């Protein structure tokens, strides 16, 4: 079953929604300063704009659709003859669509508005550009006319927002679509939707790439991410509804957006607090609200489950204060907030750090936050914008077999990987149909019969009964897929990642070697190939004393460094450190600089800091080793990890380790 509304937000960090406001009113009023600071995606949210003079019946619109729970469907064929796939490439996106041009442009414009909003509102270093274009799959097939085993993408299902209290007067005219984004990788994700029957008369808005928050290096502090996209209280938990002003020459720009207001702990607790504030106001009393200390908000220790809701509420309140409230209206406070975030990415936040940034301590800020909470509780948020309402139409052309197989196969592969632990049956089905997609592309590209045999007998034994039934009539003609007959580097990379994810690293290696040789733009392909080369090398080391030779190390480090040029990640730096640890050759100074820089990018990764320090110490770089240990100790709690780091640090202070291994 697919969770909707608040259940969907609890089930997955990645979510999407579609909001259709029907309220008729001119959008002027309060100006909110643009903050230099929307997921994971992580988080996805969407909504249409309305013209300032457009009238509608809000109550009827809210009742138009209701939440429908249903099982996610899976694409199991690449085409329907009467409705072929078309392809387009545009900045930030690759599109595979078999919806009419109008519907395709409607959805793409929604997504492009979302990216525009994020790029306009947030600092560039908070939302790094994706190293791989997002893939967008758009369908408009009527499921009732398609037999099982054909095409089933996720339909857009609309319902009223469950936290109507936070939407205030806008709640009656807003419809929300909430769903998982399961198909994601370390360097991209795929967005699939079926737009059949969706009302497209208004202009839509969709914010889709909050996952960028999770790819920052150094990572953003967890309180900032929770404040932005926390499932219960995050400022951008359901997105914003943009509005267009109709001018002399018609609509052209979006100037304002409205979103859900501030919640405190829960809907029920928010309502109780509102009632208390109103009662105290009538009685002439000052309402006393106790909020947790900021030392708890900024602490490094895991937040206990029973404290999570109030911790997230305080994070959202502080983030809203800094980005959309008093902290954004005062230039000095705005700079202080951004400086606090910058420092929090590399060091623990203490009251001294906070005071260095703001000029006052925790108690003063806690007082400001209490006053701010009283002022904004359950009041819809507002953001000023300067965004075009339309974008150039995509240049859709007939999709090639390579494009169809690569995009649909990659989507299903990523979905299968994400379901691996939570839903093994769905994972098997996703991988199974990913194999079908890729094989069909291979067959069509090489002029072979389009019938697709099961990927191989060993893999078929793990296939669900449903998938086996769907394939009972498939041709059993044997097929051997070889890398030298695939011409698209992107398809080679997806085939290699598919084979790796399904457990056949021997076949994966052949496809990934060919993809990397063709200079494919897919960082994860380089990272996986490097790990496969490493596994092979440590199984057959060619250096002295069972160590890797310099040539083996170079073969591993080459693709790792290519992946880092596009998508810095702690796993990649960890592989560099592991390779240098096992290599017979002494690391060069540039190698030491690289691993020291990697540890600095991920300061809370204690294991990376420790192993990097060991490599530095054993290679004669005692000063660098000591510095890594000292920085790592800042984030280390009492226990075995801290003991090991202190022992290494003590040995460096007494007598630096000789420069020989």
Q: What is the pLDDT, as a whole number, of residue 442?
A: 92
Name the DSSP class of 456.
-
3-class secondary structure, 425: helix
Q: What is the pLDDT, as a whole number, of residue 83?
A: 76
Residue 564 contacts residue 530 (beta carbons within 8 Å): no
Q: Compute and round to an integer the Cα radius of gyration of the chain.
A: 27
Query: Percent helix, strand and coil across the chain, each rounded to 5?
Result: 50, 10, 40
Residue 18 contacts residue 156 (beta carbons within 8 Å): yes
Q: What is the pLDDT, as a whole number, of residue 472?
A: 43
The residues facing 257 across adjacent strands are 242, 383
Return the ∠ at Cα 400 (arms to 399 and 403), rounded to 5°. Answer: 85
Question: CA-to-CA distance for 626 and 230, rounded, in angstroms?
Answer: 37
Residue 430 contacts residue 76 (beta carbons within 8 Å): no
Question: CA-to-CA distance for 374 and 262, rounded, in angstroms?
Answer: 10
Q: What is the pLDDT, as a whole number, of residue 460?
A: 41
Classify residue 630 by burial, with Cβ atoms within 10 Å: 0-12, 13-18, 19+: middle
Classify residue 227 by burial, with Cβ atoms within 10 Å: 0-12, 13-18, 19+: buried
Q: What is the pLDDT, as a whole number, of residue 470?
A: 44
Domain range summary for the chain, segments of one domain joined by +: 5-259, 275-379, 420-521
The tens digit of pLDDT for each residue in 164-219 reads 888 888 877 766 666 656 788 888 888 888 888 877 766 565 655 577 888 899 99
Tokens standing for residue 339: 């400086």
- Select from 133, 8, 13, 119 the least CA-distant residue to 72: 8
Q: What is the pLDDT, as a whole number, of residue 179?
A: 61
Residue 116 contacts residue 109 (beta carbons within 8 Å): no
Average pLDDT by stretches of 10, the chain with 661 residues:
29 31 24 21 31 35 33 44 84 92 88 80 86 91 67 70 82 67 83 81 60 89 93 82 62 79 93 94 90 95 93 96 91 96 97 98 97 94 83 92 93 92 90 92 83 45 45 54 92 97 96 97 96 97 96 97 91 97 95 96 94 94 94 85 83 56 39
Return the ∠ at Cα 32 (arms to 28 and 34), rounded to 5°. Answer: 125
The tens digit of pLDDT for each residue in 26-58 reads 222 222 222 222 222 222 333 333 333 333 333
Token pair 């928010």: residue: 270
Residue 319 contacts residue 228 (beta carbons within 8 Å): yes
């Amino acid at each position: 079953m697919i969770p909707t509304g608040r259940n969907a937000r609890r089930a997955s960090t990645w979510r999407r929604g579609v909001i259709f406001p029907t309220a008729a009113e001119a959008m002027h009023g309060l100006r909110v300063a643009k903050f230099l600071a929307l997921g994971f995606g992580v988080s996805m949210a969407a909504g249409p704009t309305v013209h300032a003079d457009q009238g509608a019946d809000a109550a009827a619109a809210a009742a138009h659709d209701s939440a429908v729970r249903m099982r996610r469907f899976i694409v199991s064929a690449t085409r329907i003859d009467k409705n072929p796939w078309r392809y387009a490439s545009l900045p930030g996106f690759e599109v595979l669509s078999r919806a009419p041009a109008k519907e395709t442009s409607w959805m793409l414009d929604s997504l492009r508005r979302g990216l525009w909003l994020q790029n306009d509102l947030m600092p560039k270093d908070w939302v790094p550009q994706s190293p791989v274009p997002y893939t967008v799959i758009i369908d408009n097939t009527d499921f009732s006319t398609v037999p099982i085993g054909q095409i089933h993408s996720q339909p857009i299902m609309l319902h009223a927002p469950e936290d109507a209290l936070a939407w205030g007067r806008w709640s009656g005219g807003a419809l929300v679509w909430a769903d998982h984004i399961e198909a994601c990788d370390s360097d991209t994700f795929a967005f699939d939707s079926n737009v059949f029957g969706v009302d497209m008369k208004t202009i839509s808005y969709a914010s889709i790439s909050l996952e960028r928050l999770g790819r920052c290096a150094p990572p953003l502090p967890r309180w900032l991410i929770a404040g932005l996209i926390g499932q219960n209280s995050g400022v951008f938990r359901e997105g914003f509804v943009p509005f267009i002003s109709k001018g002399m020459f018609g609509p052209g720009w979006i100037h304002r957006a409205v979103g859900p207001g501030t919640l405190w702990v829960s809907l029920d607790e928010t309502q109780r607090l509102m009632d208390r504030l109103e009662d105290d106001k009538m009685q002439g009393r000052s309402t006393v609200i106790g909020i947790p200390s900021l030392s708890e908000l900024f602490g490094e220790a895991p937040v206990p489950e029973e404290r999570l809701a109030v911790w997230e509420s305080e994070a959202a309140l502080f983030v809203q204060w800094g980005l959309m409230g008093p902290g954004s209206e005062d230039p000095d406070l705005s700079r202080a907030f951004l400086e606090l975030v910058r420092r929090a990415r590399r060091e623990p936040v203490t009251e001294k750090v906070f005071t260095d940034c703001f000029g006052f301590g925790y108690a003063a800020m806690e007082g400001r936050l209490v006053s701010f909470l009283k002022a904004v509780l359950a009041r819809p948020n507002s953001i000023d914008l300067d965004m075009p309402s339309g974008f150039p139409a995509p240049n859709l052309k007939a999709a090639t077999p390579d494009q169809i197989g690569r995009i649909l196969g990659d989507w299903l592969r990523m979905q299968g990987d994400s379901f691996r632990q939570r839903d093994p049956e769905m994972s098997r089905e996703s991988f199974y149909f990913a194999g079908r997609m890729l094989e069909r592309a291979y067959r069509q590209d090489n002029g072979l019969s389009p019938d697709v045999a099961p990927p191989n007998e060993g893999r078929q034994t793990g296939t669900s009964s449903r998938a086996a039934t769907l394939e009972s009539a498939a041709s059993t003609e044997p097929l051997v897929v070889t890398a030298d007959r695939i011409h698209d580097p992107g398809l080679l990379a997806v085939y290699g990642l598919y084979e790796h994810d399904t457990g056949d690293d021997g076949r994966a290696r052949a496809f990934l070697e060919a993809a990397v040789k063709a200079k494919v733009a897919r960082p994860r392909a380089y990272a996986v190939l490097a790990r496969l080369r490493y596994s092979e090398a440590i199984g057959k080391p060619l250096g002295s004393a069972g160590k890797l030779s310099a040539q083996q190390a170079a073969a591993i480090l080459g693709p790792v460094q290519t992946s880092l040029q596009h998508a810095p990640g702690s796993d990649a730096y960890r592989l560099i450190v592991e390779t240098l640890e096992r290599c017979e050759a002494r690391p060069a100074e540039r190698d030491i600089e690289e691993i020291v820089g990697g540890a600095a990018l991920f300061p809370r990764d204690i294991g990376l800091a420790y192993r990097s320090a060991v490599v530095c110490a054993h290679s004669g770089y005692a000063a660098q080793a000591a510095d890594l240990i000292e920085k790592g100790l800042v984030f280390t709690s009492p226990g075995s990890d801290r003991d090991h780091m202190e022992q290494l640090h003590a040995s460096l202070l007494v007598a630096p380790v000789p420069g020989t291994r």
